Amino acid sequence: MIRRLWKFNGGVHLPDHKGESTRLPVTRARLPKRLILPLHQHIGEAAEAVVKVGDPVLKGQMIAHAKGFVSAPLHAPSSGTVVAIGDLPVPHPSGLNAPCIVIETDGEDRWTELHPHGDYDQLDPSHLRNIIREAGIVGLGGAGFPSFIKLNPGPGKTVDTLILNGVECEPYITCDDMLMRERAQDIIRGLRIMRHALHARACVIAVEDNKPEAYAAMLTATRGTDIEVAQVPTMYPAGGEKQLIKVLTGMEVPSNGLPIHIGIVCHNVGTAVAVYRAIEHGEPLISRHMTISGGNIAQPRNLEVLIGTPVKDLLDECGGDPGTLERLVMGGPMMGFSLPGDDVPVIKTTNCILAMTRDNAPAQRPVMPCIRCGACADACPVNLLPQQLYWHAHAKDLDKVQEYDLFDCIECGCCSYVCPSNIPLVHYYRYAKTEIWAAEREKQKAEQARIRHEFRLQRIDREKAERAAKHAQKKEELTSATTKNEE
């Protein structure tokens, strides 16, 4: 049966630059001398280190445990010694340093003891989730939300469709493409485990129609099963979770809602492989597939990279030329962010490193005033009015931007891409969001201060009253004593 597909508003066709990095098969990247592991690689609370400087570690050993519910532990990607724990540059748009564990590798790559589980279908879903949580698995598509939470439908909710996202709509990035071509069986194994955990009625694997090899591989791997493989039209950002759900089902995830609210759960194909490795091999998440591409790279390709590998090692391995390097980007050209330098490590959510020369990262064309042409609104996959948002963000009118549904913006960058005036629209939206969050924190602080103050006043009043009562009591005792004496 051919699935009926829907369309979302707007979107853009981009030159995909995917051919460059799919020529070579995926191999393991060289073992780096040092691994730098930021404690915060996912959405939620940062992990907490459980090793000290000087501790020897084995490959796969837990080195930081999850702190709180929305969090993920961290494991040593190779054997060696912890040589430092402290603030170092990490890949984050802010460019700030953050706490990291640094491991000097010993070259032996010795595993810790692993506990594989042969028959996942004999395991209780909550047990499965626990193993996945302990394996430190987070969404590998880019957001990095702890996967065990998304594998729990929650009380009273049923999952109709489990979608495996192999769309990979950003230019240059091909790691999911290569994974589907080369590891289709592993993806299906992971998918079955996920399906078991969720009790999902149906499964769909979505592949963009510019990846015919991956599509064919997934078709072969699913032959004879009830798992569907859907080819979706190439259109950025069809790989966005909400956009993909719309394309596949025609349903819109409600604003401020989650896919589970309409009976859908969406995971990345890479995450499925990580889940499979965790359950059937007992391996925690210590490596991932990623793309190294861009005009600066002599041999653009995909590698299986240990988490914590410094970007510089990868550039060297793929023939990056430091002389012509203009800009380093983590992620794709649309939603990625510039790296301050090549000393930052690969983290769990790193799907791509782009090393751009002057030619592929041309100087920003001059920014002109907005002419309200509406090209941005036509391109917006969320149906926002980007120019109005820009106008109010520019004027720092934080109420107005929320009235225009700023928080529905997925920051895909379509508006900035089509803008004839070259306005970096998404920057304004990020700025406005940050300002609003800051204002809200201030408000909460003020509210807390007010409550504290009121409590203090109450306490003072109470103490005063108590003192007065005591005083009165004493006085009474005294007077009664004197009267007694007088008697």
Q: Residues interacting with other proteins, by CB under 8 A?
A: 8-9, 242, 246, 252-257, 365-366, 368-375, 377-378, 381-385, 387-388, 403-405, 408, 417-422
Distance CA 435, CA 429 (A): 10
CB atoms within 10 A of CB 374: 13
The length of the chain is 487
Please state the closest distance from residue 12 (CB atom) to other proteins, in A: 8
Distance CA 321, CA 312 (A): 11
Please state the closest distance from residue 150 (CB atom) to other proteins, in A: 18
Q: Which is nearer to other proteins, 173 or 406 (CB)?
A: 406
Distance CA 426, CA 406 (A): 11
Distance CA 42, CA 48 (A): 13
Please state the closest distance from residue 409 (CB atom) to other proteins, in A: 9
Question: Which of 62, 67, 56 minimizes the C-alpha distance to 77?
Answer: 62
Q: Which is nearer to other proteins, 140 or 334 (CB)?
A: 334
**Contact by Cβ (8 Å): 47, 39:** yes
Please state the closest distance from residue 171 (CB atom) to other proteins, in A: 14
Q: How far is CA 270 from CA 180, 304, 356, 372, in A?
A: 9, 11, 25, 40
Please state the closest distance from residue 295 (CB atom) to other proteins, in A: 17
Please state the closest distance from residue 265 (CB atom) to other proteins, in A: 17
- With b for 16 or more beta-carbon neighbours within 10 A and e for fewer, the 330-342 pattern comes to bbbbbbbeebbeb
Q: Which is nearer to other proteins, 83 or 385 (CB)?
A: 385
Supply the DSSP symbol for 467.
Answer: H
| 3-state per-residue secondary structure call for 19-58 | HHHHCCCCEECCCCCEEEEECCCCCCCCCEECCCCCCEEC
Q: Which is nearer to other proteins, 12 or 131 (CB)?
A: 12
What does residue 481 show for φ and ψ, rounded to 5 degrees?
Answer: -65, -45
Please state the closest distance from residue 253 (CB atom) to other proteins, in A: 5
State whether residue 379 is helix, strand or coil.
helix
Cα atoms in the 13 Å half-sphere on the side-chain side of 185: 0
Distance CA 279, CA 276 (A): 5
Q: Which is nearer to other proteins, 93 or 374 (CB)?
A: 374
Please state the closest distance from residue 266 (CB atom) to other proteins, in A: 14
Q: Which is nearer to other proteins, 154 or 374 (CB)?
A: 374
β-pairing, 80-89 with 327-330? unpaired
Q: Which is nearer to other proteins, 148 or 417 (CB)?
A: 417
Distance CA 196, CA 189 (A): 11
Q: How far is CA 361 from CA 18, 276, 296, 333, 339, in A?
A: 17, 38, 11, 9, 14
Distance CA 323, CA 472 (A): 87
Q: Which is nearer to other proteins, 127 or 372 (CB)?
A: 372
Only one residue has tokens 């997934």, namely: 218
Amino acid identity for residue 372 in this structure: R
Please state the closest distance from residue 8 (CB atom) to other proteins, in A: 7
Please state the closest distance from residue 55 (CB atom) to other proteins, in A: 47
Please state the closest distance from residue 294 (CB atom) to other proteins, in A: 19
Q: Residue 125: is the preceding peptide bond cis (ω within 30°)?
A: no
Q: Which is nearer to other proteins, 217 or 419 (CB)?
A: 419
Q: Which is nearer to other proteins, 323 or 362 (CB)?
A: 362
Q: Which is nearer to other proteins, 27 or 255 (CB)?
A: 255
- Give the CA angle between residues 250, 251, 252 to the nearest 5°: 125
Q: Which is nearer to other proteins, 371 or 481 (CB)?
A: 371
Please state the closest distance from residue 257 (CB atom) to other proteins, in A: 7
